[in-house]
Chain A
């Protein structure tokens, strides 16, 4: 009984402290570069490596659905720097066992290296470095949404700070290479998870929104486990759900030809 009382007392005393501490922290507003750097690491560089099973559902205006399921593995060469991605498709059946591999370069002047493995032909195709703002396997997500847009591509400006979010406006340095004129990102002040990205077209009209619908703590890392992109122009919507998320899995260098032809079991399961 006494112990319980002590606990209650300690809690009661410490709560206001916590609250005060938090308020104190939130008053200090870091500069915009710190915010975007932190958000970039949180969104794309969690752990040294990671794995997830992804279910992607595209729903068009007519409510027709297409579903992709794939395992995605990532390994960082350095935080905020180069990365390697390995995507092993499970569904739909015509792309089953297909592998898409990327060696992503953080330097915006260096194109990513991409490969595709087609199992029926046992063929490894090298894919020309394409427009990164092309649809990822027919969904409303773009390649750049999946692997991240280099921070060096945009200028950043903190336009609003609310109790919950830092809102950062991003203006492309090379406007002719992208379809948007700018986009705003609402970054959670506590976790630095980008919760909402809003893209505006040349007429400053909002036309595309990416939202983090569900965030979970996985291995103490805030992780977006459900995100949705809505294309307001076409009325199409794509939802990505992440399950079996694991970080720091001591991934070997599977990002090479040997494993394209036959990935290790951890990848295919």
Chain B
């Protein structure tokens, strides 16, 4: 598998090289007839080189001190023939924490706009919808929580999907349908890079207890459907959502408790976003129907939930923006859950979460200081994400930041990551 991915990476680099050669040929007005791309319009090459490193601020007996240490070359190749858009984007990574080379194909897709009412995008792609800021209710596309907590760029929070997206556009409303033929789970916390609360062991764990999963893995049978029906009325954006698939991060375990599983999940939701006063307000709700445990009696499968989100963002001074969100996650069959609990302390029925984002731009907007904070009054835990990004020139950016966790208990969502508190610094050259 590893070798296969590196080969793809090498092929991508060769394609880029080929494109460069071709571009030079075009410049010298010679036709590159030996290239398989001579039939395509010129290939545009962009990307970046990103190098970053970070350390844990606390001793973690289950993980390395180094939280992140990697060099990354992203190549973004695109071509625009008359009939559609072609795009391939991938990262070649030297990861000094895992001491491995890797290739992460971020996008490889074809976009078609066959007529006025249809857009199609087929292949590997990054997908996003919904109204939350770093909180997701109806966006059930894969996330990369590991990247998010170890200090990679925010763009890596979104993991790619292998999917077909069809957008239908009408006067009455617009409809998006995303079909993922084989389940794409989150790149979830599994103990390899971040220590976590292991409820079976009833303690923190990490590399010593890596979570093994039994993932729905067959093409076309273990598929996902996500739909969104949306309309903009006087710049108030209304949307209805539906999802049929699986819990994106493990939502249960096998009877032997040796493997984590991704039980069936259906989600029904709605959102609205628009101007309120001087700012932007948003509301989003979702009903998470845990289809393998509708009664909530099965201790091995997560309970159904209601999720609510309300948010508001406003510019409070020049180049200074503040955003607050309130989020509530409510278990539907709490008494059943409590009665059937096998091990560990029970969680609360309601998880309340408040977020605050502060962003200040300075020095002709070349310096961006931001702080995103999650605070749960019910779990009594906090996650803070300070970040300072300075654009040295049009191509180079320098960045420092941190992922800070604290909490009263080791088994809460952010509290479990206390020993993963880290700071990082990075440099990115874009071209």
Contacts and interface: CB of A to CB of B under 8 A. Distances in A.
Q: Do A and B bind each other?
A: yes
Interface of A: 58, 60, 64, 66-67, 91-94, 96, 103, 111, 113, 120-124, 126-131, 133-135, 137-139, 236, 256-258, 262, 265, 268
Nearest to A110: B275
Contact of A257 (B157, B232, B428): B232
Given A93-B431, A122-B126, A258-B174, A66 B393 contact: yes
B28 interface: no
A134 B119 contact: no
Interface string B298-340: 0000000000000001110011010000000000000000000
Contacts of A138: 364-366
A234 to B, nearest CB: 9
A123 B48 CA distance: 20
Contacts of B174: 257-258
A94 B389 CA distance: 13
B430 to A, nearest CB: 4
B90 to A, nearest CB: 13
B318 A131 contact: yes
Contacts, number: 94
A137 to B, nearest CB: 7
B46 A93 contact: yes
A236 B363 CA distance: 12
Interface residues of B, number: 46
Contact of A134 (B232, B319, B428): B319
A77 B364 CA distance: 32
A258 B315 contact: no
B79 to A, nearest CB: 13
10 contacts: A111-B278, A121-B128, A122-B127, A122-B128, A124-B128, A129-B278, A129-B279, A134-B319, A236-B364, A268-B80
A201 to B, nearest CB: 16
A60 B391 CA distance: 14
A121 B364 contact: no
Given A120-B155, A135-B319, A258-B169, A91 B279 contact: no
Contact of A137 (B125, B128, B279, B365): B365
A66 B393 CA distance: 7
Interface in B90-120: 111, 113, 119
Contacts of A64: 393
Contacts of A134: 315, 318-319
Contacts of B280: 126-128
Contacts of B319: 134-135
B72 interface: no
B167 interface: yes
B235 interface: yes
B154 interface: yes
A257 B431 CA distance: 27
A119 to B, nearest CB: 9
